[in-house]
Amino acid sequence: MKKTALIFGISGQDGSYLSELLLTKGYRVVGSSRDAQMSRFSNLVRLKIRDQVEVESAALNDFRSVLQVLKKIRPDEVYNLAGQSSVGLSFDQPVESFESISIGTLNLLEAIRFLEAPIKIYNASSSECFGNTDGRPADEFTPFRPRSPYAVAKAAAFWQMANYREAYGLFACSGLLFNHESPLRPQRFVTRKIVNAACRIAAGMNEKLELGNISVERDWGWAPEYVEAMWLMLQQDNPDDYVIATGETNRLEDFVDGVFTSLGLNWGEHVKTNRNLFRPTDILTVKANPGKAAQKLGWKARYKMRDVARMMVEEEKEGWEKL
């Protein structure tokens, strides 16, 4: 029988790519939005799959709303990708960030427990939970030390998932995803900001790209690959949590260089540092050990940082050429 997947946060980068993947696997895909009648679902339109996806109105911070949509759709799998998704924005909106991520996850878990339905649930956790690891690669046993309101909320949601798995036997998994990018990223994310500005400069616009701390180090991967790891977690015999990353760490400066070099530009001539863009607290170095995902899921990233920079530039240039 055809499986049904319910995706909370379907309109975002990961939700859209996950929808595309699940459709190729023969799933019935249903997505939620606070107001499905008014939402544009532009990413689904961009991927040319909007007409293949059903949508329902639901708000994760409203328990009754969550319960209703679960009873109506009766999904086999639930993917929780909703909630505030920007680390920087969470410093300006800490309460909204915590409620949308942590309370939303708790409502979803409690609704599934209440229904006593055999629903498998995936939760989008984050490498931000680890904080600084003093240069050691983070794995599934690395202690959390969150350094932003966003990371605190993600850490709380992670432990809620683990608690419901252990206390009530739910098939509940969290993916500790490191940075994963694509052309579907909103421009408030630094990678898309860099790509967009570099393409404007290459097109002849006279401007400077202002960035914060470009010495920070991150593990950047390709988002369309990472959604496959999400799906694989729910196909296992037993629920578990996994670090999902490339295993390669680069400075933000290296990402900037990769973007500008692919356009034949010297980034040093076009980029300046703005200390107002520094975060109150930040993670300087991020390293990951995705060995468990490779061993148990058979998942390994094919694309690394410079591949990601090049592919994002290629798609951005296509968009400019169509204007």
Question: What confidence tens digit (pLDDT) does each residue in 148-203 have?
Answer: 999 999 999 999 999 999 999 999 999 999 999 999 998 889 999 999 999 999 99
- Same domain membership, residue 69 and residue 141: yes
CATH number at residue 116: 3.40.50.720
> Choosing from 126, 148, 174, 182, which is the catalytic residue?
126
**128 classed as catalytic:** yes
> Choosing from 27, 122, 150, 226, which is the catalytic residue?
150
**126 classed as catalytic:** yes
Task: State residue 247 phi and psi, 5-degree precision.
Answer: 90, 5
- Same domain membership, residue 265 and residue 135: no
Give me the number of domains the chain comprises: 2
- Same domain membership, residue 212 and residue 131: no
Question: CA 45, CA 51: separation in Å to the nearest integer?
Answer: 8
Q: Which domain holds residue 229?
A: 4-180+221-244
Tokens of 174: 């969290």
Mean pLDDT over residues 251-259, rounded? 97
Give the dihedral sign, CA 119/81/133/246: positive
Q: Looking at residue 127, what DSSP letter applies?
A: G
- Same domain membership, residue 126 and residue 90: yes
**150 classed as catalytic:** yes
Question: CA 219, CA 305: separation in Å to the nearest integer?
Answer: 8
Task: Tally the residues of the chain.
Answer: 323
> Choosing from 128, 181, 225, 316, which is the catalytic residue?
128
- Same domain membership, residue 194 and residue 138: no
pLDDT category at 318 given cuts 50, 70, 90 is: confident
The strand ranges marked E within the chain are 4-8, 28-33, 54-57, 77-80, 120-126, 171-177, 180-181, 209-211, 217-218, 221-222, 242-244, 250-251, 271-273
Asked whether residue 128 carries a pLDDT value surpassing 90, the answer given is: yes
Record the pTM. Answer: 0.94
Give the model confidence (pLDDT) of 268-307 as tens digits.
999 999 988 887 877 888 899 999 999 999 999 999 999 9
